[in-house]
Amino acid sequence: MIRRVVLAGAGHAHAHVLKAWASAPVAGVELVVVSPYALAPYSGMVPSWLSGTYRFEDIVIDFPRLCEQAGARWIKAEVAGLDPQHQTLILSNGACLQYDYLSLNVGSTLVPPSGAFRAQILPMRPLADLHDRYEALLLQWRLDAGDQPLRVAAVGGGAAGFESLLAVLRRLRLERPDRVVHGALMTRSQTILPGYPPGAQRAALRCLREAGVDLQLGTAWCDSIGDCSDWVLWATGAQPHAWQRDPVLMGGLTVSEQGFVQVDSHLQSVSHPNVFASGDCAQWVSPLPKAGVYAVRMGMVLAHNLQAALTDQPLKAYEPQSEFLSLLATADGKAIASRGRWSLSGRWAFWLKDYIDQEFIRRFSSLQLPSAQAQGNIR
């Protein structure tokens, strides 16, 4: 009898699973991938796409193509809930999909404030939605016949808020050198880039100063920010999708208080061992920061564990890296590099970031992408 493994979400971890499956498929198993978008952006390159350094097509993994290479079935649809008792995934188009094993790698979302603000709010997650919203705003900006300064505020002082504000300011100023663009960054915390070493925080402050950003530490969101800005980049903490927060739609699958799928060290659901979860949508044994580097590393363990579960082999435990190299693009052709307590910044750091990121994308693509450096489009 044919067994079915369903991968829900075209996330970083599932890209690894498909790559591994392409070279070592398990006989008698149908692999199915379900995700609403064919092109999955690689998070590390998103800020440099926002700044205009990369084209969108340079930063995405083409999932239908990856599925073809792995002999997997691609279904363009959105998960709306699940019924783990009956091993069924419920799709938003009303269809149901049975599985023997399910793996969730559906990322996270943001819940931006609702209300009648003057500002247009641009949530930084989900990444796939960001493309259309950002392109629409850029088009408006190109056509804007006014002469008033544009006020752009970022809410959130972590890596996403910091990098995306610098990137967006750079892009808006390049597109319209005739117009003034003001930038502001608001964060509830008392420091920029909490958790980063002091040297990286100082470098970040320098970059914000050079970009003319008004930094407001210890500032929580209030409606007046929405009324005093034209654009608000919403980059606060990651949240689970709405259906993950609804116990009925999750069918009793154990989730954390926030709604992230609780998994053990093997990335298996603590309540239903034939369900795996990884990346932002999962809550590991102890909560991890929501960052792509964890999703990528989980992918290697997940690829092994799915195959091991199907062939009755021992599963591997995922061990999160205690330190990793972080490279933050500062939209001026440079980046801030840090690891543990160490940090340095400069042009070389962006070259290194560009090399690592392009290598990552190349691994999942049979297309040979010319590097941004070779195209001479690193600004």
Ligand X SMILES: Cc1cc2nc3c(=O)[nH]c(=O)nc-3n(C[C@H](O)[C@H](O)[C@H](O)COP(=O)(O)OP(=O)(O)OC[C@H]3O[C@@H](n4cnc5c(N)ncnc54)[C@H](O)[C@@H]3O)c2cc1C
Residue 279 found at the interface with ligand X (CB under 6 A) = yes
Q: For residue 253, give both structure tokens.
A: 């699958």
Residue 78 found at the interface with ligand X (CB under 6 A) = yes
Q: Judge if the upstream peptide bond of residue 126 is cis by omega within 30 degrees of 0.
A: yes
Total residues contacting ligand X by CB under 6 A comes to: 38
CB-nearer residue toward ligand X: 102 or 295: 295
Tokens 């690592």 belong to residue: 356
Q: Taking contact as CB under 6 A, which single stretch among the options 5-13, 140-148, 185-193, 257-265 is the one that binds ligand X?
A: 5-13
The residue within the footprint of ligand X, chosen from 241, 272, 297, 304 (CB under 6 A), is 241
Contact 63, 56 (CB under 8 A): no
Q: Taking contact as CB under 6 A, which single stretch among the options 25-33, 119-127, 187-195, 362-370 is the one that binds ligand X?
A: 119-127
- Least distance CB 118 / ligand X (angstroms): 23
Q: Is the dihedral of CA 270, 271, 276, 281 positive or negative?
A: negative
Residue 297 found at the interface with ligand X (CB under 6 A) = no
The residue within the footprint of ligand X, chosen from 7, 44, 213, 378 (CB under 6 A), is 44
- Least distance CB 157 / ligand X (angstroms): 13
CB-nearer residue toward ligand X: 19 or 290: 290
The residue within the footprint of ligand X, chosen from 6, 17, 20, 47 (CB under 6 A), is 47
Residue 290 found at the interface with ligand X (CB under 6 A) = yes
Q: Taking contact as CB under 6 A, which single stretch among the options 105-113, 170-178, 193-201, 336-344 is the one that binds ligand X?
A: 105-113
Residue 35 found at the interface with ligand X (CB under 6 A) = yes
The residue within the footprint of ligand X, chosen from 6, 8, 70, 215 (CB under 6 A), is 8
Q: What DSSP designation does 280 have?
A: G
What is the end-to-end Cα distance of the chain in Å, rounded?
56
Q: Which residues, at least 6 apart from 101, have a Cβ–Cβ distance to it below 8 Å? A: 3, 4, 5, 6, 274, 275, 276, 306, 309, 310
CB-nearer residue toward ligand X: 229 or 283: 283
Contact 61, 10 (CB under 8 A): yes
Residue 29 found at the interface with ligand X (CB under 6 A) = no
CB-nearer residue toward ligand X: 106 or 253: 106
Contact 155, 229 (CB under 8 A): no
Residue 226 found at the interface with ligand X (CB under 6 A) = no
CA distance linking residue 97 with residue 73, whole number of Å = 12
Q: For residue 371, give both structure tokens.
A: 């590097």
- Least distance CB 125 / ligand X (angstroms): 5
Residue 165 found at the interface with ligand X (CB under 6 A) = no
CA distance linking residue 322 with residue 334, whole number of Å = 26
Q: Taking contact as CB under 6 A, which single stretch among the options 214-222, 249-257, 278-286, 339-347 is the one that binds ligand X?
A: 278-286
Q: How many helices, marked H, and strands, marked E, lie in the chain?
A: 10, 20
For residue 137, which phi and psi values (nearest 5 degrees)? -70, -40
Distances (CA, A) of 91 to 31, 80, 139, 159: 17, 5, 33, 33
Residue 157 found at the interface with ligand X (CB under 6 A) = no
Residue 107 found at the interface with ligand X (CB under 6 A) = yes
Residue 185 found at the interface with ligand X (CB under 6 A) = no
CA distance linking residue 178 with residue 158, whole number of Å = 31
CB-nearer residue toward ligand X: 230 or 357: 357
Q: Taking contact as CB under 6 A, which single stretch among the options 16-24, 37-45, 190-198, 310-318 is the one that binds ligand X?
A: 37-45
Q: What DSSP designation does 314 have?
A: P
CB-nearer residue toward ligand X: 291 or 361: 291
The residue within the footprint of ligand X, chosen from 52, 126, 157, 259 (CB under 6 A), is 126
- The letter for the amino acid at 311 is T
Residue 171 found at the interface with ligand X (CB under 6 A) = no
**DSSP, residue by residue, 166-195:** HHHHHHHHHH-TTS-EEEEEE-SSSSSSTT
Tokens 């070259």 belong to residue: 351
SS3 content of the chain, % helix, strand, coil (to 5): 35, 25, 40
Which residues of this chain interact with ligand X, rule CB under 6 A?
8-13, 34-37, 40, 43-44, 46-47, 78-79, 105-107, 124-128, 159-160, 163-164, 241, 279-281, 290-293, 295
